Structure 1
Amino acid sequence: MSRPGRAAEDTVVRRARLRIVWTTGVVVTLLVTLVGAVAYTVMTHAQDAQVRREVRYGAAYGDPERPPGCMWLYGPGGTRASDGPKDFPLWADLDRVRLTGEPVERTVRRGGAAYRVRTQLRRDGDVVQAVLDLRLQLADRDHLWLALGAAEGVGLVSAVAAGLVLGCRAVAPLAEALARQRRFVADASHELRTPVTRVHTRAQMLARGAVRDGLPARHRDGLAAVVASLGRLGEVLDDLLSSATLSPGQAWAATRRRVDLVALARAAADEEADRARERGLAVRVDGPPHPLWVDGVASALRRAVGELLNNAVTHTPPGGSVVLTLTRGHGAVELTVADTGRGFEAGEAERLFRRFHRGGGGRYGLGLALLREVVTSHGGTVAASGRSGHGARFTVRLPQSAPSPPVSAERVRAWHGWRAAVPLSGRPRPVAGPGRPDRSRR
C-alpha cells in the first residue's frame, strides 16, 4: 500500500500526463480540421469554377442533338430532351432571356438532385437552356467529408497514443523531482527536529534558572522570547514533516484547530515590539476584547500574520505607525495590517503575491506568495492596496469558525487570566484556555 504522500505525487504526475495527452489531442485535431477545411474549400471552389465553364460552353456552343456528358440542351421553342430530367426546361428563364437578352444562370434542385441551369441568347439568335447534373460533384464532396472524418479519427487516435508516449517521457523528470523534493523535506525536517528540540529544552532550562537566580527582568523576557521562537521553529519543522509524509488535505486536517485570531495578532505584535521600538515605530492592535475564532493551523496562520507584520515594520520609516485591525462580519473574520510606509504602485498590488516577483522597488519577495498559499488553503482571501509614498494595506479574510458549545464561567475567567499573564517575568504562568492548549509539559 503506497504512502499518502506518494499518492499525492502520483496524482500530480497523472494530471500532468493527462494535460499533455489532452493538449496533444486538441492540437492534432485542430490541425487536421484546419487542413480538411482548406482542402474542402479549395475543392469546392475548383468544382464551382469547372461547372460554370462547362455550362457556359454548352449553352454557347453545344449541339442540342449531341450534348456533352451529364448535360441536356433545350433548343429554340424549349424542345425537351428525350432522356432529360423532369420539370425542365425552365420556361420562366426562357421567357426572361427572350425579353431582356441577358443570360440567367442558377442552381436548381429537383427530386433530390441538384442541377446547374444556364439560359442565354446565342449569336445566331436562338435561346438555348443548358442543364448540367451536379450529382458527380456532390458525390465527390461527400467522399471528401468521409475521408476527412476518417483522417480526423485516425489523427485523434494517433494523437492520444503520441500524447501517452510524450507524457510518460516528459513527466518522468517531474515525478523524480517531486520525489526528491519530498525526500529532502522529510529528511531535513527529521534531522533538524532533534537539535532544535535539544536547544529548545536547553533554553527552557536557562529561562527557569533565570527566574530562580533572580536575573533582571529584561534578561528573563529575552530568554522567554528565545524559548517561544524555538517552540515555533519546532512547529514549523513538524508542519514540514507532516506535509512530506501526508497528502496536503490530510496534513491540514491532522492539525486543524480553532484559533483565536485576536490573540494570535497580539502575540505577533509582541514579537515585533523590540524591532519596532528600535526603528521608532508605533505598533498597535485594534481588536475586540473577546476572541475571534477561525478554523486552521495555528503555526501556519501565525507565520502568515508575522509575514504581514514583518513587511509593514520593514517598509515603514522611523516615526511611522503600523496598525493591526480585526473585525468580524458576514461569516468571516477580517485582519487588516496598515502602515504609513513607502507603499507601492497601484498596478503592483496583484503582482506582489507572485512567486519570485519583487515589486515596489524590490521590497517585497517570496514571503507574500507563501502567505497567499496559507490563506487560500484555509479557505480565505488576501488582498493588497496602497499608493506609492502613502503606505500599504493588506487585508486577510478567513471563514469564521462554527460556534462551539457554551463555555462555562470558569473557563472564561481562565482565558482572561491567560491574557493577563506574562511568562517568565515573576508573575503567574499562562493558564490554558479555550483554543490555547497548555504547552508547559512539551
Structure 2
Amino acid sequence: MTPERAALGRARWSITARLTLLTTVIVLLIECLIYLITANMRDNDTRRDLLWTVEHSSISSPPACTWLVVARDGVVAGTPGLPAGFPLAGSLLAADVPRFEEVHRDGQDYSVLTQRRGDEVVQVVYDERFHVLERRNLLFAFGVALLLTALAVAAVVATASRFLCEKAIAPLNDALARQRRFVADASHELRAPLTQLHTRAQLLARKANALDCPEALAAEMQRLVNGTRQLGDVVDDILSSALSGEQPRTDLVDLADLAGEVVAAEDARAAETGLLLEVRHEPGQFLVLGAESALRRVVTALVDNAIGHTPTGGAVVVAVEAPTPDTVRLSVRDSGVGFDQADERALFERFTRGANGRGKRFGIGLSLVREVVEAHHGTVTAEGAPGAGAVFTVDLPAVRPAIPLPRAEAASVARAAIYWAKGAGVHIARR
C-alpha cells in the first residue's frame, strides 16, 4: 500500500468514526428524551388510575393488579391476597390529604395511594411489575435501535466517504504519479552521462598517476572521481525511491569519515572564498546506522550553508564527537552573519532563505537536513546571534558497541594554524 493510500484510509476511517459517534450520540439523546416523556406519562396514568380506583372500586372488585384496604371506625378490611407488608398503617392514620408513595416489598415495586373517602380511609396498592417489564422492553428496544443505527450509519458513511475521498484524491494521485514518473525518468536519463563522467574521471586520475603529475593535481583528480561516484549514488537513491517508494538501505556509517570527505570536497571552494575550513574529532570511530548518501547530503548541506553565510576571512569548523555513549554529534560552526535565535524554527522550513547569504540560495537545504535527520531518528538544532556566527548541531543514535580504532585525523586545509582576530575574535588551532 502506498503512503497516499494509507493516508487516505486513515482519513476515511477517521471521518466514519466521527460521524458514527456523532449520530449515535444524537440518537441516544433522542431516546433518552422519549424514555423520560414516556415514563412521566405512565406515572401520570398510574396516578389517575389510582384516583379512579379510590372513588369507584370496592374491596370485592378491584381492578387488575390492584388491592384495596378500607379503614372505618378502627376496623381495617382488605382485598384477599394483599401482599405482605400491607397495608401501610402509618399512611392510614395520616390520610387527611391524598398521599402517593412508591414502595418496594419482597423484590416487587408497588404504587400506593392513601386517601379519605367519606367517613372511611381507602388505601390502593397497585403492582408495578408489568410497568417495570414494559420499561425494560422499551430500554431493550432502544438499545437495539441504537446499535442498528450505529451500524447503518457506519456502513453508509464508510461507503460514501470512500467514494468521496477517492474522487477528491484522484487529482492528487494523478499529480503524484506524474511527479514520480518525472523523477524516475530524469534520474534514469542522468545515470548514463554520470557514468560516463565518472569513467572519464577515473581514466584521468589513472593518467595523472602514470604521468607523475604533481601530487596536488592527482589529489584533485581523485576528489573528482569520488564526487562523481557520490553524485551517481544520489541519483540511484532517487531512482530507487521513485520506482519502489522505499527508503535507501541502511549501513554502518562512520560520521567522522563522512565529515572528512565532505570537507575535503569543499576545500577548493573554501580556499577561493578565503575561508578556513576544518574538521575536528577525536581518534576512533563514530558509527551510526543510516543511508550513507543521505547523511552525506546532510553534512554537505550544512557545510554549504555555513560557507554561503560566512564572509571572506571567516572560518567554518566541522566537529564530530560522542557526548554520550548512545549519541554521535556532528556540529558545523561558522563565524558568519548569524541569525536571530527567535527564527530558529523557521530556518528548517521549506523555502526559507537568509537575506545575507552568498550566491543563489533556494531555502531547501536545511529543510532536507531536518527531514533526513528525523528519518534517522535524530535531531537537528541551530544556535546563533546576528553578526556572531551560527552553529548547527545534529545528534544521531550511536551504534553500540563502538569500535575504537586509532587513526590520523583528516585535515581539510593546509593553511595558517591560527585564525582570525577580526569580528567575533574566534581562535581555531590546527592539530
Instruction: Please say whether Structure 1 and Structure 2 have the same fold, judged by a TM-score greater than 0.5.
Output: yes
Q: 2:391 & 2:316 partners in 1: Cα distance?
A: 10
Query: Alpha-carbon deviation of 1:191?
Result: 0.6
Q: 2:265 & 2:19 partners in 1: Cα distance?
A: 58
Aligned partner (choices 154, 157, 166) of residue 156 of structure 1: 154
Is residue 285–residue 325 contact of structure 1 (8 Å, CA) maintained in 2? yes
What letter corresponds to residue 27 of structure 2 in structure 1?
A: G
**CA pair 56-314 structure 1, distance change in 2 beyond 3 A:** farther
Query: Alpha-carbon deviation of 1:42?
Result: 0.9
Is residue 279–residue 410 contact of structure 2 (8 Å, CA) maintained in 1? no
Aligned partner (choices 42, 45, 49) of residue 54 of structure 1: 45
Query: Alpha-carbon deviation of 1:271?
Result: 3.5
Show CA shifts across 1:82-109 (max 9, x none).
687x35646277269559x795644x55
Query: Alpha-carbon deviation of 1:265?
Result: 1.0
Aligned partner (choices 35, 43, 48) of residue 34 of structure 2: 43
Residue 343 of structure 1 is matched in structure 2 by 339
Identity percentage of aligned residues = 30
Query: Alpha-carbon deviation of 1:396?
Result: 2.4
Residue 264 of structure 2 is matched in structure 1 by 270
Residue 326 of structure 1 is matched in structure 2 by 320
**CA pair 102-170 structure 1, distance change in 2 beyond 3 A:** same
Residue 384 of structure 1 is matched in structure 2 by 381
**What secondary structure sits across from 1:149 in the alignment?**
helix
Q: 1:312 & 1:96 partners in 2: Cα distance?
A: 100
**CA pair 336-44 structure 1, distance change in 2 beyond 3 A:** same
Is residue 343–residue 392 contact of structure 1 (8 Å, CA) maintained in 2? no
Query: Alpha-carbon deviation of 1:46?
Result: 0.8
Show CA shifts across 1:18-77 (max 9, x none).
325523431342133112211122112212332443345456665354499888475654
Q: 1:381 & 1:400 partners in 2: Cα distance?
A: 13
Is residue 254–residue 287 contact of structure 2 (8 Å, CA) maintained in 1? yes
Residue 438 of structure 1 is matched in structure 2 by none
Is residue 309–residue 356 contact of structure 2 (8 Å, CA) maintained in 1? no
Is residue 277–residue 412 contact of structure 2 (8 Å, CA) maintained in 1? no
Q: How does 1:6-85 map to 2 (within 5 A)?
A: 10-12=1-3, 14-58=5-49, 63=54, 65-66=56-57, 72=66, 74=68, 77=71, 80=78
Is residue 94–residue 129 contact of structure 1 (8 Å, CA) maintained in 2? no
Aligned partner (choices 290, 300, 309) of residue 306 of structure 1: 300
Query: Alpha-carbon deviation of 1:208?
Result: 6.6
Is residue 56–residue 118 contact of structure 1 (8 Å, CA) maintained in 2? no
**CA pair 54-336 structure 1, distance change in 2 beyond 3 A:** same
Show CA shifts across 1:262-295 (max 9, x none).
1211222333445545666544422012332333
1:358 corresponds to 2:352: yes
Query: Alpha-carbon deviation of 1:192?
Result: 1.2
Q: 2:90 & 2:384 partners in 1: Cα distance?
A: 77
Is residue 64–residue 72 contact of structure 1 (8 Å, CA) maintained in 2? no
Larger radius of gyration: 2
Q: 1:336 & 1:105 partners in 2: Cα distance?
A: 82
**CA pair 30-281 structure 1, distance change in 2 beyond 3 A:** same
Q: How many residues align?
A: 394
Show CA shifts across 1:358-403 (max 9, x none).
388899943333223333444x302314365363432221332666
Residue 193 of structure 1 is matched in structure 2 by 191
What letter corresponds to residue 24 of structure 2 in structure 1?
A: T
TM-score by length of 1: 0.69
Gaps of at least 5 residues in structure 2 are: 414-431
**What secondary structure sits across from 2:54 in the alignment?**
coil
Is residue 381–residue 394 contact of structure 2 (8 Å, CA) maintained in 1? yes
CA RMSD of the aligned region, Å?
4.5
Q: 2:152 & 2:258 partners in 1: Cα distance?
A: 61
Q: 1:36 & 1:90 partners in 2: Cα distance?
A: 43
Q: 2:126 & 2:169 partners in 1: Cα distance?
A: 62
Q: 2:78 & 2:17 partners in 1: Cα distance?
A: 55
Query: Alpha-carbon deviation of 1:159?
Result: 3.6
Point out the structure with the larger helix share.
1
Aligned partner (choices 91, 94, 103) of residue 91 of structure 2: 94
Gaps of at least 5 residues in structure 1 are: 1-9, 423-442
Q: How does 1:210-221 map to 2 (within 5 A)?
A: none
**CA pair 265-69 structure 1, distance change in 2 beyond 3 A:** farther
Residue 297 of structure 1 is matched in structure 2 by 291
What letter corresponds to residue 384 of structure 1 in structure 2?
A: T
Residue 428 of structure 2 is matched in structure 1 by none
Show CA shifts across 1:101-122 (max 9, x none).
795644x55566655x365666
**What secondary structure sits across from 2:282 in the alignment?**
coil
Show CA shifts across 1:197-224 (max 9, x none).
3344445556677788899888777666
Q: 1:324 & 1:96 partners in 2: Cα distance?
A: 100
**What secondary structure sits across from 2:330 in the alignment?**
strand
Q: 2:215 & 2:274 partners in 1: Cα distance?
A: 22
Residue 253 of structure 2 is matched in structure 1 by 259
